[in-house]
Amino acid sequence: MAKLTVRDLPVAGKRVFVRVDFNVPTDDKGAITDDTRIRAALPTIRYLRDQGAKVILASHFGRPKGKVVEEFRLTAVGRRLAELLGVPVLKLDDCVGPEVEAAVSAMKPGEVVLLENVRFYPGEEKNDPDFARKLAALADVFVNDAFGAAHRAHASTAGIAAYLPAVAGFLMEKEIGALGRLLERPERPFVAILGGAKVSDKIGVIENLLGKCDRLLVGGGMANTFLAARGLNLGQSLVELDKVGLAGELLARAGDKLVLPVDVVAAPAVDAAAPRKTVAVEALGATDKALDIGPATVARFEKEIAAARTIFWNGPMGVFEVEPFAAGTTAVARAVAASKGFSVVGGGDSIAAIEKAGVADRVGHISTGGGASLEFIEGKELPGVAALK
Ligand code: ADP
Ligand code: MG
């Protein structure tokens, strides 16, 4: 799925509209708690500045639902970006209209403008052609670097590409390269590890991976539904009763490709103070909740991961937010990091777990796009990617 990138077009002196994903997490005072997404866009912005482009940045932020909501302004983001870039960033209070047009026509090569939140207009999420055309009128070239928003067909991610030459930024290029490598030409064995709370969130991912990988290791809450499909008693564990039938079908189809936990850490409550025990999956009692994979499962998973040449991991192996139930997730994080194979980790909680384990720098690729990465792994075409040349 080769896409043209920002390297493939002359941009010197041009107005370049760059869709970034600056939808950063903030605390209740509006302070940015994690600027990873801003940092991830810096290589593209720096390249464009170096080439003498006029850089016009656009992003969504939060869910203002088509109107101006003060708390979703990008002002703090603009300030952080200026700090990280080390050059001034002119933050505008709108993303279309005469004031924006005037500011853009006053830009000199190398300058950076940040438009206001595109979701202040209902046309953004509706992918309204009129709104897309207004955005496009600000620029000569469209660069999409917002992989995290590429699964949405919105005006600034997809619609705008109808009016401007549309190419990928470096982050977009890296993401589709890494995720595409998993699906298109994985070195074998390809081991996928899936966890998290629910099977229902990731049915499409499981189905597509089963056709691509050599082993699918399943942990976390989603393993419970598979264990229930095997007829086991899960006590008070999280089980999606309406997905037990589907889990049974997937198990039958997968055969020994799909590996389930053999033991778990269980407690009567998700509480660090609750009495815990490690038991075989067949031995869960009526009041038990399975909250982490157990040591025998960890050993099995570690063996599979150590043998892998390609790894994809999404979803923690247990309720890792509560320390006594984090061991399985931490062990998997370390095993993935220790692998000499090519590894990709995606998903907000999985990335948090990899960072908590202190091994993020030893993973091949950490995908910045939660929902977008999963839709990509499902094998879906992402509108923001499809729109690029
Ligand atoms: P990601 O953000 O990496 O895609 P998910 O959001 O799908 O991951 O899943 C993360 C959540 O799954 C965490 O909040 C974690 O507590 C929960 N979880 C994992 N294992 C269990 C379990 N055994 N029982 C209940 N919840 C679980
Ligand atoms: Mg999550």
Per the CB < 8 A criterion, the answer to whether 185 and 160 are in contact is no
| Residue 37 among the catalytic residues | yes
- Type of residue at 296: A
Ligand 2 mean position to 347 CA, how many Å? 6
What does the DSSP 8-state code read for residue 55? E
Please, what is the average pLDDT of the chain? 96
Distance (Å, rounded) from C-alpha 16 to C-alpha 140? 6
Q: Can you tell me the mean pLDDT for 26-33?
A: 92
pLDDT of residue 1 exceeding 80:
no
- Ligand with smallest separation from the Cα of 320: 1
Model pLDDT, residue 348:
87
Active-site pick, 46, 79, 181, 198: 198
| Residue 294 among the catalytic residues | no
The H or E element containing residue 351 is helix 348-356
Q: Can you tell me the mean pLDDT for 327-333?
A: 97
220 lines ligand 1 (CB under 6 A): yes
Ligand 1 mean position to 350 CA, how many Å? 9
The model's pLDDT over 254-278, given as tens digits with 9 standing for 90+, comes to 999 999 999 999 999 999 999 999 9
Structural domains of the chain, ranges and CATH numbers in brackets: 6-172 (3.40.50.1260), 179-378 (3.40.50.1260)
Q: Can you tell me the mean pLDDT for 38-47?
A: 97
**Per residue in 176-187, is it b (16+ CB within 10 Å) or e — as a string?**
bebbebbbeebe
What stretches of 1-73 adopt beta strand conformation (E)?
A: 15-19, 54-58
Chain-centroid distance of CA 211 in Å reads 22
- 368 pLDDT band, cuts 50/70/90, is confident
The model's pLDDT over 189-242, given as tens digits with 9 standing for 90+, comes to 999 999 999 999 899 999 999 999 999 999 999 999 999 999 999 999 999 999
| Residue 348 among the catalytic residues | yes
The model's pLDDT over 122-179, given as tens digits with 9 standing for 90+, comes to 999 999 999 999 999 999 999 999 999 999 999 999 999 999 999 999 999 999 999 9
